[in-house]
Amino acid sequence: MKISAKYLAPAALAGLLTLTPPDAKGIDVSTATYLPNNHGKSLTTPVAWGAANNVIFMGVGGTSPAPYTHDADGAAVLGFGVGDPKENLGLQVALVNLDISAWDRYSMAVQLHRQLDNANAIAVGVENVMLSSGGDADKSFYIVYSQGVQADPFVNDVTGNSKLHFSIGAGTGRFGDKSPDDIAHGRGEHGTYVFGNIAYDVAESFNLIADWNGLNLNVGASKTFKAGNVPFAITIGAADLTRNSGDKVRFIGACGLAFKL
């Protein structure tokens, strides 16, 4: 199975790192603040809202086919979040298995995130910190800002949450460095190193998502269910919609759950 760390780690994390939206604790009640909903808000790009307050999350994700092959590929993630991003900082750490057929190639992702005062947040992080041999991507550092839009047309009157969310950021590595296959197929050597995502709540049921990961455009949807207090997220999408990277449009998907200790 072809290892595709550059693509699979983000797919495996999709929808999982936004299972725990900002807490209302500490919000200034003198002004209305409409917090983000709890559905996934990206497909292949980071968001500034992360796991914290002793949350553990886990899941699996994959793509079919992997770029420049006819084979599917999959990855798995296990992580935790500690700290309080409203009062100071939250720390999110994820261990990613890059190949679920072998379970012998691992990387780590770390993010520090801070909630601001108006349903927004900022974060810095690093992905693809290899813990074993193998993989096809170098470390990728990033900074990202996320916002739940507060304008009245984008507020869900039933849930009291923002319906429109966006993130914008910049990074190194996978956010702009194209693969040897891309270069060999005339896709160029570099992307934008700037990424972003936008998510909109449809019918109080799920988020429609579009993201640009610095290399290509992706679209999809994410929905979070709850079993008691345990959220379970499913994210699906279509990746590589433009000719900037990859050889064809491919399916990506992830599912996972989170719980608080």
Q: What is the pLDDT of residue 136?
A: 61
Q: Residue 18 has what pLDDT?
A: 52
What is the arithmetic mean of pLDDT over 18-43?
Answer: 67
Residue with tokens 């307050």: 53
pLDDT value of residue 73: 85
pLDDT tier for residue 4 given thresholds of 50, 70 and 90: very low
Average the pLDDT over each of 18-27, 119-128, 158-167, 176-185 and give the range with the smallest value: 18-27
- List the domain range (segments joined by +) for residue 9: 5-260
pLDDT at 19 over 80: no
Average pLDDT over every residue of 217-238: 91
pLDDT at site 133: 77
Q: Which CATH number fits the domain that encloses residue 218?
A: 2.40.160.40
Q: What is the pLDDT of residues 135-146, one digit of tens each?
A: 666 799 999 999
Q: C-alpha distances in angstroms, 209 versus 5, 41, 110, 188, 218?
A: 22, 6, 23, 26, 8
Q: What is the pLDDT of residue 31?
A: 53
**Separation CA 112–CA 126 (nearest Å):** 9
Q: What is the DSSP string of the chain?
A: ----HHHHHHHHHTTTTTSSPPPSTT--TTS----B-SS---SSS--S----SSEEEEEEEEEESPTTSSS-EEEEEEEEEEE-TTTS-EEEEEEEES-TTT---EEEEEEEEEE-SSSEEEEEEEEEEESSS--S---EEEEEEEEE--SGGGB-TTT--BSEEEEEEEESGGGTBPPHHHHHTT--SB--SEEEEEEEEETTTEEEEEEE-SS-EEEEEEEEEEETTEEEEEEEEEE--SSSSSSS-EEEEEEEEEEE-
pLDDT at 164 exceeding the cut of 80: yes
- What is the per-residue pLDDT for 12? 43
78 pLDDT tier (thresholds 50, 70, 90): very high
133: buried, middle or exposed (CB in 10 Å: 19+, 13-18, 0-12)? exposed
Which of 18-22, 41-45, 167-171, 183-187 comes out lowest in average pLDDT? 18-22
pLDDT > 70: percent of the chain = 86
Total tally of structural domains belonging to the chain: 1
Does residue 71 have a pLDDT over 70?
Answer: yes
Amino acid 14: pLDDT: 47
More confident residue, 20 or 176: 176
The answer on pLDDT for 225 being more than 80 is yes
Cβ-contact 165, 199 below 8 angstroms: yes
| pLDDT classification of 228: cutoffs 50, 70, 90 | confident
Query: Does 241 score more than 90 pLDDT?
Result: yes
The answer to whether the beta carbons of residues 211 and 40 sit under 8 Å apart is no
Closest CA to 90 of 105, 80, 76: 80
Half-sphere exposure of 3 (CA within 13 A, CB side): 19
Round to whole Å and give the CA distance between 33 and 36.
10
202 pLDDT exceeds 80? yes
Alpha-carbon separation of residue 249 from 59, 68, 173, 193, 234 (angstroms): 23, 11, 22, 21, 20
pLDDT at 11: 44
* CA distances, 2 to each of 12, 74, 189 (Å): 16, 10, 21
pLDDT at 203: 85
Beta strands 120-130 and 106-115, pairing class: antiparallel
**Average pLDDT, integer, range 209-230:** 92
